[in-house]
Amino acid sequence: MGTVILLPLNKPFIIDFLEDLGSDVTDSLRRAGLNHVVMIWSEIVKIPMTCFDWSRMQYLAPCVIDWIRRFIRDRLVSTETYIVGLSYTDGYDKGLNFVFGEASVSENIAVVFTRRLDPAFYGSRRDYNLYYNRVVKEVVHELGHLLGLEHCSSKGCVMNFSNSVLEVDSKTRFFCNNCVRRVSGKTRV
């Protein structure tokens, strides 16, 4: 059994539903046969501006992951701890226009950038339910990577690659049967 820590970054906007998010992530993991404890970090942590690219107005995902590693690793004892940073900001990686999230399997750290998951980003009216469901899916997706899963082609699987919010909307927050077999068969989880 491992521990998942949801780490709020920058904006308190996410704080409003962190406990619900923790419950839904726990449910998705349990349905895959994983009994991880999901915890919420007790404070909002500010991403340093050294990770912000002013020319793009986005945060560089690998920089944020590296900063989280430095920030949190000396505070944790267990190597079976998975950290997912959550930020209502926009992120990218080199060669990509944007990323919803990114994971570093070797560090057990992921980050989810939620700004593009908000319908308001695209000029639509705010829809908290839609936004929340998208965030849950992306958190579970990045956790799947941390647990050793790659992208999956099974329709509806949370491990489908999403290049747009429409693709996020078309998947569930659950692992398909093949991904469940892969993740539950690993000794590290």
Residue pLDDT, tens place only, 96-127: 999 999 999 999 999 999 999 999 999 999 89
Q: Looking at the domain assignment, is residue 180 inside a domain?
A: yes
- Selected residue with higher pLDDT from 70 and 168: 168
Q: Which of 138, 142, 150, 167 is catalytic?
A: 142
With beta carbons less than 8 A apart as the criterion, state whether 48 and 66 touch: no
Q: Is 80 a catalytic residue?
A: no
Structural domain of 130: 3-184
What's the confidence (pLDDT) of residue 134?
A: 97
**pLDDT, average across residues 25-36:** 94
- Is 141 annotated to bind ligand? yes
Q: Which band of pLDDT confidence, cut at 50, 70 and 90, is reported for residue 184?
A: confident
Q: Looking at the domain assignment, is residue 83 inside a domain?
A: yes
- Is 51 annotated to bind ligand? no
Domains in the chain, number? 1
Q: Looking at the domain assignment, is residue 189 inside a domain?
A: no
| Nearest CA-CA partner of 17 in 142, 111, 136, 126 | 136
Quote the percentage of the chain above a pLDDT of 70. Answer: 93
- Is 157 annotated to bind ligand? yes
40 exposure class (CB count in 10 Å sphere: 0-12, 13-18, 19+): middle
- Is 151 annotated to bind ligand? yes
pLDDT exceeds 50 at position 72: yes
pLDDT exceeds 70 at position 132: yes
With beta carbons less than 8 A apart as the criterion, state whether 183 and 146 touch: no
Residue 127 sits in a domain whose CATH number is 3.40.390.10
Q: Which band of pLDDT confidence, cut at 50, 70 and 90, is reported for residue 78?
A: low
